[in-house]
Structure 1
Amino acid sequence: MPSLKISAAQMVANARARIEEIETPDLIAMVEDPNVVIVDIRDPRERERTGYIPGAFHAPRGMIEFWVDPDSPYHKDVFAQEGKKYVFHCASGWRSAITVATLQDMGFDAAHLKEGFSTWEKHGGPVARDEDKS
C-alpha cells in the first residue's frame, strides 16, 4: 500500500486545532436552548445501538456538505436558520471534528462535541432510543 500524505489522526488533529470544541457537560446544559441545533452525524445503526440526544437532527456524515449548501438540490432548511448555534457530534469526536472543519471551509459556522456521544450518558445527558417512541 502506498504511504498516505496525511493520516486520519493528523486530519483530526488539524481540524481540532482550528474549530470550536464543546465539552460534554457544556452541551448537556444547552440541550433545552432553542438557539442550539445539535446535529448527529452517526450512522443509523450507531443511533439504534446506543441511542441519541433527544431533539438532535440526524444528518448522516455522507450528506452534510450537500444538506448545508443552500445551492444544492439536497439542501435541508434546518441548516438555514439564522442566529442558531450548530453543534455536530459523532461517537468519539473524530468525524465531527473533520466535518466541522470542512463546513467552516465552506463558510458555515459550527462547533462540535469534543468527546462525542461516547461520554454523553456518563455525564448524565438525556438519551432517547427508538423503543421510547412507542
Structure 2
Amino acid sequence: MTKLKMSSAQMVADARARIEEIETTDLIAMLEDPDVVVVDIRDIRERQRSGFIPGSFHAPRGMIEFWVDPDSPYFKDIFAQEDKKFVFHCASGWRSAITTATLQDMGFKAAHLKEGFSTWEKQGGPIAFPEKKPYSLSS
C-alpha cells in the first residue's frame, strides 16, 4: 500500500490545534443554556446502542457540510441560528474535531466536545435512549 501524505491521526491533531475544544464537565454545565446547540454526528446505530445527550440534534457526519450550507438543497434551518453556540460531538472526539475544522473553513462557527461521548456518562452527563418502536409485520 502506498504511504498516505497525512494520517488520520495527523488530521485530528491539526484540527484540534485550531478549533475550540470543550471539556465534558463544561458541556454538562452548558446543557440548560438555550443558546447552546449540541450536535451529535455519530451514526444512528451508535445513538441507538449507547444513547445520546438529551436535547441534542442528530446530524450524520456524511451530511453535515450540506446541512450547514444555506446554498445546499439539504440545508437544515437549525443551522441558521447565528446567535447559538454549536457544539459538535462524536464518540471519541476525532470525527467531531475534523468536522468542526471543516465547518470553520466553510465560515461556520462551532466547537466540539474534546473527548466525545466516551466520557459523558462517567462524568455525570445525562443520557437518553431512542424510543423503541414495537415490532409489526407491516414494517
Once the two structures are superposed, residues 42-61 of structure 1 have per-residue CA deviations (whole angstroms, 9 ceiling, x without a partner) of: 00000011000000000000
Distance 2:20 2:44 in 1: 25
Q: Which of the two has higher C-alpha Rg?
A: 2
Distance 2:132 2:54 in 1: 11
Amino acid paired to 2:92: S
User: What aligned pairs does 1:52-91 form with structure 2 within 5 A after superposition?
Assistant: 52-91=52-91
Distance 1:26 1:132 in 2: 30
2:110 equivalent in structure 1:
110
Amino acid paired to 1:51: G
**Residues 132 and 120 from structure 1, CA distance in 2 versus in 1: closer, same or farther, beyond 3 angstroms?**
farther
Bigger fraction of residues in helix: 1
CA root-mean-square deviation: 1.3
- Deviation beyond 2 Å, 4+ runs, structure 1: 131-134
2:124 equivalent in structure 1:
124
SS in 2 for 1:63: helix
Q: CA deviation at 1:82?
A: 1.8
Q: CA deviation at 1:133?
A: 9.1
1:45 equivalent in structure 2:
45
SS in 2 for 1:98: helix
Identity %: 81
Gaps of at least 5 residues in structure 2 are: 135-139
Distance 1:118 1:133 in 2: 26
Distance 2:133 2:14 in 1: 39
SS in 2 for 1:130: coil
Once the two structures are superposed, residues 48-90 of structure 1 have per-residue CA deviations (whole angstroms, 9 ceiling, x without a partner) of: 1100000000000000000000000000000000210000000
2:4 equivalent in structure 1:
4
Distance 2:9 2:40 in 1: 21
Q: CA deviation at 1:131?
A: 3.8
Amino acid paired to 2:71: D
Distance 1:73 1:114 in 2: 30
TM-score by length of 1: 0.97
Gaps of at least 5 residues in structure 1 are: none
